Structure 1
Amino acid sequence: MKIEITSQARSFEKAAADYAENRPSYPPAVLDAVEELAGRPLKGARVADIGAGTGLATALLQARGAYVVAVEPGPAMASQLRLRLPAIPLVLGDGDRLPLASGSFDVLTYAQAWHWTDPRSSVPEALRVLRHGGALALWWNDSDATVPWISEQDARLARLFGGDDGGAPDPTARFRGLPPELDFTTRRIPWTRAVPLTTHLANLATYSDFLMLGKHATDTFLATERNLLTQIFPDGTIEEQYVVSLAVTHH
């Protein structure tokens, strides 16, 4: 199982530049909630952003005044982060084997990254690196499946990838897999971004399932999506609606 997850996670290396250009970032309300649940401001905090990717969360943490170290396992993704954030300390590594000193950070963040780790390793590693009283913050950004056009697109994606395309969306799905030995407080934060249709489709193409699927099948699916979405959004601007699932616990 671990080999399969690692292979899919590393698939992002093939699309690092597209990921950097088209993936959505996160709304300010996410960091507001992190500060509230962590019980401290991010300004002046020592923060390690684990699985930092191209630096979407890293940039926001830096803008809040945190002293951020980025940890990323993929060289191509790390290169994109370095281009965007040349002043941020960056180390190659993953959440199962953190290349960080024990008790050295006030906050650890895993933005869209915790599910790529093995909790048998990543939980003790996170607790090792956090100082006493520090906070572990995990979050995921998912399309809001209560929106009809998104629900219909999700069903098409599920059929393509052989998943379950029936039933109502489960708003607690991301929280069910949290490590049971840690006492998390959770929040769900809705937000919206408006982007050109081309950006929406390019973002879909950076999903790990598509990167594993192959170019021909991906292009075929996205061509159909372009036609369907043009009927819904004739001006070519897609209103993407998301929900961030946030979980924070203390050491």
Structure 2
Amino acid sequence: MTEQRASAETRARSFSSAAGRYGTYRPSYPPALFDAVEEITGRPLRGARVADVGAGTGLATERLRERGAEVIGVEPGEGMAAEFRRRLPDVPVVRGDGNRLPFAAHCLDFLTYAQSFHWTDPARSVPEAARVLRPGGALALFWNEPDVSVPWIAEQDARLKSRFGEGWYVADHTVPPARLGLGFTSRVLHWVRRVPLDVHLAKLSTHSLFLTVGPAGEEFLAAERALLAARFPSGEIDEHYAVTLLLGVRDDPA
């Protein structure tokens, strides 16, 4: 029997209540992802003007800065923006969202959404992307998902869907329409991180479902702890991820 889930708006607002845990336990992104961004666009991130929208606590923002980008975070949530400032005090962050970007026209080389585009309205956020990107600029959408080709992850995913329904992990990752001069290329990359069992369960607890579903989430995590402790007696777990990249280059003149 599946649990009744909160609305998408409630789930989107829930992250600020767990900003510290989010920044500590959520996975970041592999270097190969940013290699792919540069390969597909044919332009380096170093020196590029980048806005990371829905930046959260700055997991992707930090990776972009490490690649030499001149990056600014855009984050609607007060708690998440505060955690961003605490973790990345030398990186600017502004309050805003992808439906109404706080930037002038044609001012950015890259616009990135890490695990966040699904919280926007594509009918508004895609035209906004086209507005703020320079000709040749790119909109990069990417997100980690559990790699269900790995048996234990597929089994966990099945348990989650049985209890909470198909949308437990995230809202719809709809491919934006190929319009306004943005044609999309897709790529999927696989990567792994090894973490203690407690970290894996804490990571699960930062998903919007668990932040909004109440005692049912705590019960599920307690049962999951027992199952995984028996399966991984060392206490260490290899989390396998498939990170999907959708990249659209603006090829029309300004």
**TM-score normalised to the size of structure 2?**
0.91
Q: Quote the residue 1:209 is aligned against.
A: 209
In structure 2, the residue corresponding to 1:87 is in which secondary structure? coil
Q: Quote the residue 1:168 is aligned against.
A: none
Residue identity in the other structure for 2:107: S
Structure 2 counterpart of 1:67, from 61, 65, 70: 70
Distance 2:105 2:165 in 1: 42
Q: Quote the residue 1:190 is aligned against.
A: 190
Q: Quote the residue 1:234 is aligned against.
A: 233
Whether 1:249 and 2:248 are equivalent positions in the alignment is yes
Whether 1:116 and 2:114 are equivalent positions in the alignment is no
Confirm or deny: 8 A CA contact 2:143 2:244 kept in the other structure. yes
Q: CA RMSD in A?
A: 1.6
Distance 1:30 1:150 in 2: 22
Deviation at 1:164, TM superposition (A): 8.3
Residue identity in the other structure for 1:161: F
Residue identity in the other structure for 1:6: E
Residue identity in the other structure for 1:183: G
Deviation at 1:69, TM superposition (A): 0.7
Structure 2 counterpart of 1:131, from 123, 131, 134: 134
Runs of 4+ aligned structure 1 residues displaced above 6 Å come to none
- Gaps in structure 2 of 5+ consecutive residues: 1-5
Shift in alpha-carbon separation, 1:141–1:164, aligned structure 2, 3 A:
closer
In structure 2, the residue corresponding to 1:183 is in which secondary structure? strand
Deviation at 1:217, TM superposition (A): 1.7
Q: How do 1:24-35 residues align onto structure 2 when only pairs under 5 Å count?
A: 24-35=27-38
Q: Quote the residue 2:154 is aligned against.
A: 151
Q: Quote the residue 2:17 is aligned against.
A: 14
Deviations 1:74-124 (A, max 9, x none): 010011110110011110000101111111100000010111100110011
- Gaps in structure 1 of 5+ consecutive residues: 166-172
Q: How do 1:160-199 residues align onto structure 2 when only pairs under 5 Å count?
A: 160-163=163-166, 174=173, 177-181=175-179, 182-199=182-199
Q: Quote the residue 2:218 is aligned against.
A: 219
Q: Quote the residue 2:3 is aligned against.
A: none
Deviations 1:18-75 (A, max 9, x none): 1011000000000000111121000000000000000000000000000001000001
Deviation at 1:179, TM superposition (A): 2.1
Distance 2:161 2:143 in 1: 19
Distance 1:164 1:46 in 2: 34
1 or 2, which has the higher helix percentage? 1
In structure 2, the residue corresponding to 1:184 is in which secondary structure? strand
Confirm or deny: 8 A CA contact 2:126 2:176 kept in the other structure. no
